[in-house]
Structure 1
Amino acid sequence: MPRHIACMSFDFDALSLPIAKGTLTPTPLSRGEFGLVGVERIRRLLKVHRIAATFFVPGHTIESFPDAVRALVEDGHEIACHGWTHRRPSALTQDEERDELVRAGAAIERISGRTPTGYRSPSWDLSEHTLDLLLELGYAYDSSLMGHDHLPYRSRAGDTVPLLEPAGFGTPVDLIEIPVSWSLDDYPHFEWSVTSGGALNQGLASWRAVLDNWTADFDYMARTHDWGVITYTFHPFVSGRGHRMMAMEALIRHLRDGGAAFATMAEVATEAADRLGPSAA
């Protein structure tokens, strides 16, 4: 029987994102703080539709706004790791990255009573050490890579990509990759921002046009795969705005009408591991 899974995932960055970027003036900080407004709207919407979602929460957010995160725990949502700060792992040393993961994991365990099993890299930018550290710390899945749009797969260790030679591919490991896509992320569609290098992300798209893309991707998966997973990535400070909440609710209704099964990413990782079988490792 066909099974088409929708993962509603949320990166609850709050203040950690502007702080990591070094934008410490009042306006960017207030944009991050709006995430508290947005996450409460999202929590209520998910409760109405009886959906358990996955929230990737930096340790900084957990320790700064424990009541907001505790409310998510009480509603049965998965709290997964998003680092302690929102710094890119590729910009950290191996020891700094390990410290981030350990501190973030401890914060999640304190507030949820559970050790996190899932990780998403800030800015979806892993380092050469990330996979080894996740395996060392007992993580079951990552959600930072983009090697497929509908099918989870095992992460690979030991790839080589020399400039003047063919790529070499390493060994699949005991870490399920639940892939993501910028096209299924609210930030590039909606958020106006300027990078430190001066590049502009225009954002501010019509929510109806974006919704058409998101629903069409699910419809394509349902048409072409008997089993598949689509992962949507939202940020409360982005999608918590009124008209974008309308988009999220319309998306949920379309997915439900299309027969989608909603699941947390931890649940998907378990199901995918069973389907994929043991890794070569």
Structure 2
Amino acid sequence: MLTFDFDAETMWLSRDPLNARRPALLSQGTYGAKVGVPRILELLREQELPATFFVPGWTADRHPDKLLAIVEAGHEVGHHGYDHVWPDLDKPEEEEAEFVRGLEALDRVAGIRPKGYRCPAGETTDRLLPLLMKYGLQYDSSYMDDVFPYVHRMPDGSDGPVELPWSWSLDDVPFTVYSLRNQRPIQTNEHILSIWKAEFREIYRWGGLFDLINHPQAIGRPSRLALLREFIEYVRGFPNVWFATGSEVAAACLAHHHARKAEA
């Protein structure tokens, strides 16, 4: 899976509301919309590959032309909250309101009813799965507990949404963004490629899911786009690799799950 978290300015606004008064800081997110998304769409078109873009409602409202360009290019759009905020463990009403607001924005701007969800910044609560079920989403990509897609089991024993696991090592931000939480060095393309290639080789050997997470404001930089192109070409050197959207992987997982249940 090639996935892109199109956070735009929400990556910075969600960490400190005062960042709204820091235009140079916010411009990192603006770059993702202004330059990153068009260049990524160009690369995907060149490579003839599908992708899933997880888009916060705020981004849909502020950058509707880029959301529509993603849709018109034939890519999947997933739910990514509204303000890209971390849910408060003690405020379930606020969590649901944020969830619903994001759904409403995607529908209002582009007529999208997403099939999948990814939590912002890897932060969620134990209320997430019931919310996904309540609002009819088919899959989630928030958990990091496997390399194979699987079906969640709800407390009553029924099937929940499909999970498409991810890992921080397959996310571009820890390697490429300087001041997200704490100051850290920016890594070279060679360093990032060495990790992604090693992870891919072993996940391929296992027959698992390689869920790559990129952000337009990070991977959309000129040299990082070259990195992504080089990695795609590396992956294409392996036989029988399936490049698929989140909803396609979830559908395949469900079909396998139901077949196993029928055999049991």
- Normalised by the length of structure 2, the TM-score is 0.91
Offset of residue 279 of structure 1: 10
Structure 1: 5+ residue stretches without partners? 1-6, 159-169
Contact 1:90 1:128 in 2 (8 A): no
| Corresponding residue of 1:165 | none
| Corresponding residue of 1:30 | 27
| Corresponding residue of 1:164 | none
Most deviating of 60-69 and 16-25: 16-25
| Corresponding residue of 1:230 | 210
| Corresponding residue of 2:224 | 244
> SS at the partner of 1:261?
coil
| Corresponding residue of 2:162 | 176
Larger helix percent: 2
Mark the CA change 1:253 to 1:86 in structure 2 (over 3 Å): closer, same or farther. Answer: same
1:264 aligns to 2:245 (yes or no): yes
- Of structures 1 and 2, the one with the larger relative CO (CA 8 A, separation 6+) is 1
Contact 1:16 1:85 in 2 (8 A): yes
Distance in 1 separating the partners of 2:106 and 2:250: 19
Q: How many residue pairs end up in the alignment?
A: 256
1:107 aligns to 2:105 (yes or no): yes
Offset of residue 135 of structure 1: 0.6
Aligned structure 1 segments of 4 or more residues deviating by more than 4 angstroms = none
1:186 aligns to 2:186 (yes or no): no
> SS at the partner of 2:236?
helix
Larger strand percent: 1
Offset of residue 232 of structure 1: 0.2
Contact 1:178 1:269 in 2 (8 A): yes
Mark the CA change 1:45 to 1:104 in structure 2 (over 3 Å): closer, same or farther. Answer: same
Structure 2: 5+ residue stretches without partners? none
Distance in 2 separating the partners of 1:66 and 1:115: 15
Distance in 2 separating the partners of 1:132 and 1:190: 34
Contact 1:188 1:203 in 2 (8 A): no
Distance in 2 separating the partners of 1:92 and 1:258: 47
Aligned-residue CA RMSD (Å):
1.9
Identity %: 36
Mark the CA change 1:172 to 1:247 in structure 2 (over 3 Å): closer, same or farther. Answer: farther
